[in-house]
Structure 1
Amino acid sequence: MNATDPIRRSTDIHRLLDEAFAGVELTPETQDLKEEIRDNLLFRVAELEASGVEPSDAARRAIAELGDIRALVDGEAAAASPARPESASAAALRNQVRPKPGFVVRTVLISIVAAVALVLLVLGLVGVLSFGTGVLIGLSAVFGAGLGVVTADALRQETTTNHPLPTGRAVAFGASTGVLLAGLAFTGVVIVRLDLAWIILGALLVIAAIGVLSYLGATQTNRHKPWMVEQQRAMRTGNRFEEDPASAARFGIYTAATWTVAFVVAIVLGFTVGWLWAPVALVGGFVVMLIVLARMLFGADARSKG
């Protein structure tokens, strides 16, 4: 091998490599890849020549062994670019859990019973149907119990996004929901059919249910599945109640206290001024609850920014 062989070898490699990269956009990453390939080709050509292959043939053979240059460039770009996160819809589809047929049938049947009870209750209260007071109270109980059972049963089911709730907490949520709805329905029966003193019982049922629901909500831990937690982290905008459970507990206490006062004031207004004024207290309680919620969610941020 004479002294011109390395120069000739390098010239052949440069020419053939430039031809192979023709039409490929030379970004800094692509240029680095090209130089790395050039070094490897020079080493490979030297090996081939040492084995007896002619220099020009060795250069072409080394280039041919590379394969498709564009595929190499695309593969390098794909490796350099970060992987795109899985979309929420794709993740949900991959982790989809179909509801159990038995649960669907139970939910539909019990919901129909609760809806029928509510319709009959309303028709009885407005005088379209002639029901006794006991029947109306029974319809109130059926309405509340039905939706309470549906709530508890639903919370016990595994879903695409959530693990099933423990039986005890699911029953507590369902019972509280049922008592709340039954108490509201019973309040309607009291206003239309019973002595208004019975409204105290309805108010106590509603207040107790709200208190239990507030406690359950404040002490509820995460039941989301890991894939859902990852999606929430990617899209998180901040939730003070999740970041500060003590604030959630305080809000539950404030809510129970607000509605207790609202119901007491409503009863007092009903007996003193007239029952047409009683809803004013309930509206006031709702407004106070919204103000407290807004201050607890955004008040700290506003003070810190100020």
Structure 2
Amino acid sequence: MTTVHRLLDDAFAGVEPSPEVQDLKEEIRANLEARAAELQAGGASPDHAARRAFDELGDVRALVADAQADVAAETGGAPRTPMQEAFAAAQQHRVRPRPRFVLGIVLASLVFAALVAVCVLAALDVFALPALVVAALLLTASSAAGFVVGSSLSQETSTNHPMPSSRAGGYYLATGLTVLALLLAVFVLLGAFDPWMYVVAGAALVVGGVLFTMLGVTQTNRKKAWVRDVARAHASGHHFDRFDHDPAAAARFGVYTVVIWLAAFVVFVVLGLTVGWAWSWLTFVVALAVMMLVLARMLFRSTEEQQKQ
């Protein structure tokens, strides 16, 4: 019934959110799904059945206006403040986490902490572990950290629709690579690995950073319709989010990011082989600063630039 949900969200776009409006929306949704199911049983395709059921419903905004008029008559017409509206909407749309998700997050966190603790003890010579085993344990711990992030993003919340599994998987991979890079660097300092492992850590950090950036600049608004409506109704300021309105700028920033991090990795390796690995990590600090400056320059246009559009 994806088409039903999409049509209904479009019909309610711009309608001032409130618990009463949400109740009406859910009632309409149930009726539409029931009617669409009847039409599908008669041989109609899911998309055609949803659209026909929606057409039979009539003017949704008129139904909403009637419902709001009834509520106003019952309450004496006293309007809610924006804060009251936001609080009421949040209470109305509260989503409880699934037990399986909570259990998975807890177990993954415990696995991460336990594996890192074992590797630290091995690095401090409390007991002996081969370097290959330590590397495997750190890889598993990084995967557990990535699971926490990816699984959390794929959950339905009170304000966001669940992220698609493929994109959540991208965040899982980016998080895992970044955490792995940091762990490898720390354990080289602890003496668990030879200095050449810095190259592996640097490569993982570059790939993870580039992946995070690409996912970030291509991220769409996952806010629920009622959250977007509240934000539009009570938004203030004059900032202009360029990436939302100019996909080409987002693509250019992604290219700039790849170039910055690849150049940083090359400089990192060169400095590590010449000056020393401890100082070579400053390359990534500089690269991050440059990337943030480029982001600040590209993401927001000034009020004057906005007015020229």
Tell me the TM-score normalized by structure 2.
0.65
CA RMSD of aligned residues (A): 3.0
- In structure 1, list runs of 5 or more residues that go unmatched: 1-74
Amino acid at match of 2:298: M
What is the distance in 2 between the residues matched to 1:190 and 1:302?
Answer: 50
1:88 aligns with 2:90: no
Structure 1 equivalent of residue 103 of structure 2: 105
Q: Which of 279, 282, 288 in structure 2 is aligned with 1:280?
A: 282
Task: Give the paired residue count.
Answer: 231
1:255, 1:289 within 8 Å by CA — same for their partners in 2? Answer: yes
1:162 aligns with 2:164: no
Any idea what SS the aligned residue of 2:281 has?
helix
Structure 2 equivalent of residue 203 of structure 1: 202
What is the distance in 2 between the residues matched to 1:113 and 1:149?
Answer: 11
CA 276–151 in structure 1, closer or farther in 2 if over 3 Å, else same: closer
| Correspondence list, 1:110-125, <5 A | 110-125=108-123
CA 267–226 in structure 1, closer or farther in 2 if over 3 Å, else same: same
Structure 2 equivalent of residue 145 of structure 1: 143
What is the distance in 2 between the residues matched to 1:152 and 1:233?
Answer: 29
What is the distance in 2 between the residues matched to 1:160 and 1:304?
Answer: 32
Q: Deviations over 1:41-69 (max 9, x none)?
A: xxxxxxxxxxxxxxxxxxxxxxxxxxxxx
1:133, 1:189 within 8 Å by CA — same for their partners in 2? Answer: no
CA 264–124 in structure 1, closer or farther in 2 if over 3 Å, else same: farther
Structure 1 equivalent of residue 63 of structure 2: none
1:82 CA displacement: 6.1
Any idea what SS the aligned residue of 1:196 has?
coil
What is the distance in 1 between the residues matched to 2:234 and 2:243?
Answer: 17
1:223 aligns with 2:225: no
CA 223–304 in structure 1, closer or farther in 2 if over 3 Å, else same: closer
What is the distance in 2 between the residues matched to 1:177 and 1:193?
Answer: 22
1:97, 1:158 within 8 Å by CA — same for their partners in 2? Answer: yes
Q: Which has the higher contact order (CA 8 A, sep 6+)?
A: 2
Tell me the TM-score normalized by structure 1.
0.65
1:194 CA displacement: 3.5
Q: Which of 257, 260, 263 in structure 1 is aligned with 2:262?
A: 260
What is the distance in 2 between the residues matched to 1:193 and 1:108?
Answer: 28
What is the distance in 1 between the residues matched to 2:217 and 2:208?
Answer: 14
Any idea what SS the aligned residue of 1:163 has?
coil
2:242, 2:301 within 8 Å by CA — same for their partners in 1? Answer: no
Q: Deviations over 1:234-258 (max 9, x none)?
A: 3434433333333333333323322
Structure 1 equivalent of residue 184 of structure 2: 186
1:124, 1:130 within 8 Å by CA — same for their partners in 2? Answer: yes
1:110 CA displacement: 0.9
CA 144–228 in structure 1, closer or farther in 2 if over 3 Å, else same: same
CA 132–105 in structure 1, closer or farther in 2 if over 3 Å, else same: same
1:226 CA displacement: 0.8
2:184, 2:197 within 8 Å by CA — same for their partners in 1? Answer: no
- In structure 2, list runs of 5 or more residues that go unmatched: 1-72
In terms of Rg, which structure is larger?
1
CA 106–207 in structure 1, closer or farther in 2 if over 3 Å, else same: same
What is the distance in 2 between the residues matched to 1:147 and 1:114?
Answer: 7
What is the distance in 2 between the residues matched to 1:208 and 1:292?
Answer: 19
Structure 2 equivalent of residue 174 of structure 1: 172
CA 126–251 in structure 1, closer or farther in 2 if over 3 Å, else same: farther
